[in-house]
Amino acid sequence: MKRANPGKTVLMLLEGKKGLVLNVMNKNSIGWAIADAANLHGATVGIGAQNERMLDGVLKLVEGRERFDPFTIDFSDDAQFDLLRDQVAEKYGKIDFIVHSVGFAPKTALNGRFIDTTLEDFQIAMNISAYSLCRLCNALEPLMNEDGSVITLSYVGSTRALKNYNVMGVCKAALESTVRYLAVDLGDRGIRVNTLSPGPVNTVSGRGINGLTDMIKSVQDRAPLKRPYGQEEVAGSAVYLLSDLSKGVSGQIIFIDSGYTITGM
């Protein structure tokens, strides 16, 4: 998200709001782009890392910035969800938004044939990449204000079989379905739950997929807009979904890929 020019009036879409972005890995991660954009739009952001070691890098990103607070959560450890809830309640009381930015599969489950996926790898990937959203919402629902917003990150591999994506495609399909059911469960409080689905982006997670560079080039060559997209474009859509401008939107998938997903062969 580009900073405003001095003297230019900027509409602060998230002024006065508080929320969480979980998790952030480094300056190139989509989670950081969203946290940065939300903060620049006036939000107080609880920024998460998997553990204390990774939190050191995250703290460097927010050094000298206001309205950022650190949290840690390892999505593979069930006990940490309730611990996070207690920490957030103590720090903020109530929150207005949650950004679920996590996905993981063992390397062995991303190579070769999907049919060879082991039960252990399948369960690890599904637990961290999909179930964690349900568990996170369950833990934090008591802290969510009315008309709040929850967003997560998916990929078109949820509906298309893509080479080297394998079990993550199945996890993303489960994640998108989870969003729809959570949208129903939380809708009576006005809480919206939506999915952002970027095209392939050069991040640490993305680089876990073999052939990422070729994938990015292929998408950009075929996309109607014929121009690059990336973390900044994803963050812009995230700010919209976190803001009151999206009060009528829930259970939806927004694609940020310069229009690639509408194209045929």
Segment 2-29, tens digit of pLDDT: 454 555 556 899 999 999 999 999 999 9
Q: Which pTM does this prediction carry?
A: 0.91
Other beta carbons within 10 angstroms of residue 78's beta carbon come to 13
Is 109 a member of any domain?
Answer: yes
Q: Please report which confidence band the pLDDT of residue 183 belongs to, taking 50, 70 and 90 as the band edges.
A: very high
The verdict on residue 263 lying in a domain is no
State the greatest distance between any 2 C-alpha atoms of the chain, in Å, as a whole number. 59
Q: How many CB atoms lie within 10 A of CB 131?
A: 17
Write out the catalytic residue numbers. 155, 165
Q: Check residues 206 and 161 and name the one with the higher pLDDT.
A: 161
Q: Which structural domain, as residue segments, surrounds residue 244?
A: 18-258
pLDDT band at 218 (very low <50, low <70, confident <90, very high): confident
CATH number of 158's domain? 3.40.50.720
Confidence at 208, pLDDT banded by 50, 70, 90: low
- The dihedral formed by the CA atoms of 203, 224, 40 and 245, expressed in degrees to the nearest 10: -130
Q: How far is CA 53 from CA 43, 46, 49, 61, 77, in A?
A: 26, 17, 9, 14, 16
Token pair 């207005």: residue: 96
Q: Is residue 100 part of a domain?
A: yes
Residue 12 lies in a domain: no
Question: What pLDDT score was predicted for residue 206?
Answer: 54
Residue 143: predicted pLDDT: 98
Residue 192 in any domain: the answer is yes
Listed in sequence order, the residues at least 6 apart from 120 whose beta carbon sits closer than 8 Å to its beta carbon are none
Please report whether residue 9 resides in a domain.
no
Report the DSSP pairing between strands 18-22 and 95-100. parallel
Tally of structural domains, the chain: 1
Average pLDDT over residues 252-260: 94
Let me know if residue 194 belongs to a domain. Answer: yes
